[in-house]
Each structure stands twice: as C-alpha cells, then as structure tokens.
Amino acid sequence: MEKRWLTKDPWFRLMTSVVGLCVVDMFRHYRYTELKMHGRDQIEIDNVRILKFSDQICGELKEWERKKPRSSQAKDDDRHQLCRVTQKDSLSTTAAPTEKQLQAGRTTGTCCRLTCFVCRKHITQKGERRRQQTIWWCKKCHMPLCRSSRVGEDGGRELTCLEEHLTATDDVFNCSQPIPRGAEVPDEHSVDLHARKSTRKKRRRNNRG
C-alpha cells in the first residue's frame, strides 16, 4: 500500500494505514476461501500477491464528484450579508475587558452578543419564545441573525434565519429599515410549528366523569 499510494499528507497517511489493515484482512480471507472452500491450487493462490490484490480492489474506483452542500452555499451568502455585532457607540466587536479578564492577561472582553430576531418569533416546545444569542447581524439593517442553520429545529423550520430575513414580505422581518436594539417581535407574528395534542378527548372524559 505504501508503494502504491505515496503521500506526504499525514492525515491521508493514517487513513491509508487503516485501509491497509482492511486490505490485508480481505487478502487473508480471500486466500482461505479459495484454498479451503473452493479447493484452488496453492501455487496459483501464492502467485496473487498483496500488491496485485490491492490493484484488483482499486481497479473499479471512480473519482468522487463532491456536490456542494446547501449549508456551505448559505455560508458563502452570509459572508456578503452578515457581519459581526459591534458595540453601540463604536466599531469594536468585543466588550471592554473586566477586572478578572485583565488579571488573566486578556486585552479584550467577550464578544458582543444579541438575541436573534428571527428566532424570537418561533415558539419552543415548552410554549416559550426562543432566545438564541448570536454574534452576527445584517450589514444593512443591523437585525441580529443566526449564522448557523436552524433548519429542522423549533418544530421543523424550513429556512435559515438569513433566508427568512431576505425572503420576508412584511416590514417586521424584512431588510427595509434599521432594527433598533431591544426591539420585540409582535405577538401576532409568532410562529408555533409544534404539533399540539388535542384536548378534545380530555374534555369528553371530564364530562363523562
């Protein structure tokens, strides 16, 4: 394997070692099967060396065409639409260091964080609004948004926070005007995607009791 797959990449080298172990095990199983079970000649089997056996395994390999996942494509869009949250009166993305942080030798404080505005409209399984902190916001309107994908969460969301922001048609979540800090999501715009159990049967049981 080392003679066939030359590499200077240490991680690929480790993977090659693991593959080599599997190939040796397969080779020994092949010899045992052909000799003991199929009754082939010993000399004929001895002529099949491990290098030739590995070439036979790799002979039908095809180049893998890796498709670009949707999450990576969303991150490319984020680079142009999202930027780091900054302080209110400056362009710094971190807060001033505390005394404890200064004693530890740190020159900067923690990252500026806000609550994602789009996440706040979604209701959790406990019946509360989601409070998801983020360090990113929209460059144009300064709406706090999650850079990580929330697809499938909160009962089955189908769009990321950025996609919901860019495709919104109402003036609350779209990118038409700057969002002031501390703005709250109106109750009529709350979205509950969780399937709630029907209380109809409970009412019938209570009435019968």
| CB-based contact 111:94 (threshold 8 Å) | yes
Q: Per the domain annotation, does 63 fall within a domain?
A: no
Mean pLDDT of the chain: 78
State whether 176 and 82 are in the same domain.
yes
State the Rg of the chain over Cα. Answer: 30
Cα gap 178→181, rounded to integer Å: 9
State whether 41 and 114 are in the same domain.
no
State whether 115 and 138 are in the same domain.
yes
State whether 28 and 109 are in the same domain.
no
Residue 122 pairs in a beta bridge with: 191
State whether 151 and 179 are in the same domain.
yes
State whether 53 and 75 are in the same domain.
no
State whether 23 and 123 are in the same domain.
no
State whether 21 and 92 are in the same domain.
no
Instruction: Check residue 134 and give its pLDDT.
Output: 92
**Model confidence at 72, in pLDDT bands (50, 70, 90)?**
very low
What does the pLDDT look like over 199-208, one tens digit per residue? 555 555 555 5
Q: Per the domain annotation, does 203 fall within a domain?
A: no
Say yes or no to pLDDT of 162 above 80: yes
State whether 151 and 76 are in the same domain.
yes
Residue ranges of alpha helices (H) inside 87-191 are: 99-103, 161-167
Q: Per the domain annotation, does 207 fall within a domain?
A: no
How many domains is the chain built from? 2
Q: In the numeric block, which tokens belong to residue 91?
A: 């362009």
State whether 16 and 111 are in the same domain.
no
Domain span at residue 32 reads 10-58
State whether 138 and 38 are in the same domain.
no
Please tell me which of 55-69, 73-87, 137-151, 172-186 the model is most confident about, judged by mean pLDDT.
137-151
Q: Per the domain annotation, does 18 fall within a domain?
A: yes
Across 177-189, average pLDDT = 80
Q: Per the domain annotation, does 150 fall within a domain?
A: yes
pTM of the complete model: 0.55
Q: Per the domain annotation, does 76 fall within a domain?
A: yes
Q: Per the domain annotation, does 5 fall within a domain?
A: no
State whether 75 and 20 are in the same domain.
no
Instruction: Check residue 158 and give its pLDDT.
Output: 87
What does the pLDDT look like over 81-135, one tens digit per residue? 888 888 887 788 888 888 888 888 888 888 888 999 999 999 888 888 888 999 9
CA angle 155, 156, 161 (to 5 degrees): 105
Say yes or no to pLDDT of 139 above 60: yes
Say yes or no to pLDDT of 73 above 50: no
Q: Per the domain annotation, does 144 fall within a domain?
A: yes
Instruction: Check residue 201 and give its pLDDT.
Output: 53
